[in-house]
Structure 1
Amino acid sequence: MLDTLSQDFPEHTPRPAGAPQALDGIRVVDFTHFIAGPFATMMLADMGANVIKIEAPGRGDDFRQYPPVHPDLGQGAPFLWSNRNKRSVALDLKTPEGLEVARALIATADVVVENFSTGVMERFGLDYESCRRANPEVIYCSVSAYGREGPFADRLGFDPIAQAESGFVSMNGYADRQGVRALSPVMDISTAMMAANAILGALVARERTGHGQSMEVALFDNAVLMTGYAALQHVFSGAEPQRHGNTSPDTCPSGVFEAQDGSFYINCGNNKIFQRLMAQVIERPELADDPTYATGRDRSARRDELFALLGEAFVKQPRAYWQARMRAAGVPCGEVRTVGEAIRSPEARARGLVTRIPHPAVGWVPNMALPIRYSHTPIADPVAAPTVGQHTQEVLRETLGYGDARLAALAEAGAFGAPSASAATTGALA
């Protein structure tokens, strides 16, 4: 399954020895699962936070089983993508002993993050007010579907539902058919980014005021934001956004064109770019100065004839020929690639976006870097996502000072799950 990893991707280049980390010393107790919550806490872990992922014994986060699952890892590529640099503690929160350990960890935390259905953390007694009593300075982030209060607080939420209900789907695709969702979980990822930003802001505020606080980021709220400026365009004009396929309603010519050997995308975002495209790239200066093409609105009205004219020119040469000319002329242009082509592209390699990192079970696993480059506090070196409960003993010894007897008693009481699950996830107790 990972046979070509060594030849396809370089080994990760370590960060400078001894360099500080942005969130060094910050402890995060992470009760999240699936995508939006775990991706948010992974960003914090990449910045150097000590992220302790609380999982159900045995099965762990259900996202572990999203395909393709590597037989020797026992978890899938999506879980690896969203859970590096964390330590996993397996706790059965349905047992008094498991809850006791969770509360003890929260009492030591700077940040608690959860994305359970509304009411679950309250039933466990792990809601913000309960946590604040034990840890007044705690920062508590809830990632929800439609908010924790109000008439829709009970609704479950997943990325494609948020895409549909926010209007995002209605904007994408072609005018002669139903709108389409983005296959990438763009709402989950962007919600995670919002949650991470909210937590970072709260950490700064705590430094200033000495007070923790609770915060919430709702998937639906974020999805509406992700429709971009289309919402305010609608308010101004009363018109609903229309589907334009790969063209743009605001700029022209912008869209996909065919060269001899493949497709590429041009974005003519203003008049000067259009003029450079015509005069310098396809060598038609008379069109650059043609008053019928003077403005974006003029060009949009003649989109079909412009696209036909450009298509006739572009098909005569390969992509590399046109891309070189457009780069020299300052015309934004890019190849239309598959995902596999993109992650193996010269641009991705130059930026070190996809590398391989060591893994004790399979030798190497792939890793995708965050698009954040700090000059003074570089992102942490990636450590592959843990197995369920891999760090239970380590974390409880280190963070709570538990000794052998205490760990054995908790295991016996089922805090780490049934005896077979407990042994599998925590290892034999000394």
Structure 2
Amino acid sequence: MTSPHLTPPRPDGEPTGTGGPLHGTTVLDLTNFLSGPYCTQILADLGARVIKLEPPEGDSSRAIPPHFVAGDSAYYLGNNRSKESIAVDLKRPEGLEIAQDLIDRVDVVVENFRPGVCRRLGFDVEEIRRRRPELVWASISGFGQAGPWRDRPAYDLIVQALSGVMSLTGEPGRPSVRLGIPAGDLVAGMFAAIGVLAALADRARCGRGDQIDVAMLDCQLSMLSYQAVYSMIDGKAPQRQGSRHDSIPTYRSFVAGDGREFVVTANTERMWRELCAALELDGLVDDPRFDSAGSRLKNKEALWHLLEPAFARRPAADWVARLAARRVPAALIKTVPEAIADAREAGREMVLDLGHDDGRKVSVIGNPVKFTDHQPAAPAFPPHLGENAHALLNGFLGYPAQRVRELQETGVLARPRQ
């Protein structure tokens, strides 16, 4: 069982999330919902100080049902650890001044407004970058900062559909389905984080920052990989494969005798021979229909007709063990709770039990990037709306305490929720 990480009390202005390779880097997070918060959480996990500037009503993901912890949605809690929150009304001149003061102090700004919204809010990115050429500014949008679709709203499902990804997902002969994870948002967040890291590396070399333009649709197109190349070579639309593979007929899922699903990835000639031996179907090795990768692909339906009833003779766990003994990769298809239990058992800190000193607790998925020479600080519980306002304005920006109180009393600054 992973030990709980408890968020220690912080003096005013003390950063969280320090100790990783991005220690000393400060990020202003102007993002909402998923793609942007996922990007900035990656940066926080890598040691950056991330300041999340929210509207007075908060990031809209805070209100997504069905699960809540102390008023905040599990959706929000899964993507906002190790950040600090300040809630500001950017429609007020004083609120815009706070944001500008933060921009003038940070290394990176990440935003996922629709193109043009930044300028309407009062952020002239070109002027900001002229004033602070070392600043890295990353923009995540549905269709990019330029192009014929720039003004269209975009969501995960929209870009999965438009990219062709959704057309590949589902069972043959049945309607398309969305991926079980919001890849349109998550992949955009990852590419934005990659862009930020590259820009920071370049800044260390030449002293200048950069402006990064990440489009959710572009990211999904990039994930088509070889499927796009196949289509451009033969001019055909790749079809839905279900849990199968377009090129390797012994790379797919099967149903065992106990009804449990498992997957087999016999993608070399050695694995093919060992698969036949495990199934006690050695005669298939020399069968001219199956004696090469090309012939097996050409005759895949006939091959599946033989493999499927053979796999129905034993329980799935038995097949996984038998194939593993012959060095043929195979695995049970786990449920999410089963996968989480396995991750806890593995001890790689991929399940984090976060706790706050006010009693809040939640378990979240951890950071997959591990370092030998960096030991990041314990991840901190995602902040309540506006939780760190005083520390940021008084301790980080140097605002007098009286001015902070006035900003709260006039509604420019939302009071922290208790």
TM-score after normalising by structure 1 = 0.89
Q: Of the candidates 144, 147, 150, which is equivalent to residue 144 of structure 2?
A: 147
CA drift at 1:350? 4.0
CA distance in 1, matches of 2:268, 2:344: 25
CA drift at 1:345? 2.5
**Against the structure 1 CA distance between its residues 223 and 19, is the aligned structure 2 distance closer, same or farther, given a 3 Å change threshold?**
closer
Which digits, 9 at most, give the CA deviation of each residue in 1:3-25, with x for residues without a partner? xxxxxx532579xxx99420001
Aligned residues of 1:20 and 1:376 also touching (Cα < 8 A): no
Partner of 1:78: 75
CA distance in 2, matches of 1:286, 1:176: 32
CA distance in 2, matches of 1:11, 1:347: 10
Partner of 2:275: 277
Q: Of the candidates 321, 325, 329, which is equivalent to residue 328 of structure 1?
A: 325
The structure richer in helix per residue is 1
Partner of 1:61: 59
* AA in 2 matched with 1:27: T
Q: Of the candidates 90, 94, 98, which is equivalent to residue 97 of structure 1?
A: 94
CA distance in 2, matches of 1:370, 1:95: 37
Aligned residues of 2:317 and 2:332 also touching (Cα < 8 A): no
CA drift at 1:114? 0.4
* Residues 245-254 or 25-34, more deviating: 245-254
Aligned residues of 2:36 and 2:111 also touching (Cα < 8 A): yes
**Against the structure 1 CA distance between its residues 396 and 20, is the aligned structure 2 distance closer, same or farther, given a 3 Å change threshold?**
same
Superposed counterparts of 1:298-309, under 5 Å: 298-309=295-306
Partner of 2:156: 159
Partner of 2:165: 168
Partner of 2:415: 423
* AA in 2 matched with 1:295: S
Q: Of the candidates 88, 112, 135, which is equivalent to residue 115 of structure 1?
A: 112
Unaligned runs of 5+ in 2: 7-16
Partner of 2:337: 340
CA distance in 2, matches of 1:236, 1:348: 45
Which digits, 9 at most, give the CA deviation of each residue in 1:224-268, with x for residues without a partner? 112221111111111110112222111012222122331101122
CA drift at 1:184? 1.0
2:401 corresponds to 1:404: yes
Query: Equivalent pairs: percent with the same residue?
Result: 37
CA distance in 1, matches of 2:237, 2:160: 16
* Residues 142-151 or 354-363, more deviating: 354-363
Partner of 1:39: 38
2:13 corresponds to 1:21: no
CA distance in 1, matches of 2:79, 2:204: 28
Aligned residues of 2:4 and 2:355 also touching (Cα < 8 A): no
CA drift at 1:137? 0.9
Partner of 2:179: 182
CA distance in 2, matches of 1:66, 1:372: 28
CA distance in 2, matches of 1:13, 1:74: 20
CA drift at 1:424? 4.0
CA distance in 2, matches of 1:241, 1:331: 28
Superposed counterparts of 1:171-210, under 5 Å: 171-210=168-207
Say which SS state the counterpart of residue 389 (structure 1) adopts. coil
Aligned residues of 1:275 and 1:289 also touching (Cα < 8 A): no
Aligned residues: 407
Unaligned runs of 5+ in 1: 1-8, 417-421
Aligned residues of 1:187 and 1:226 also touching (Cα < 8 A): no
Which digits, 9 at most, give the CA deviation of each residue in 1:84-114, with x for residues without a partner? 0000011110111011011001000100010
Say which SS state the counterpart of residue 186 (structure 2) adopts. helix
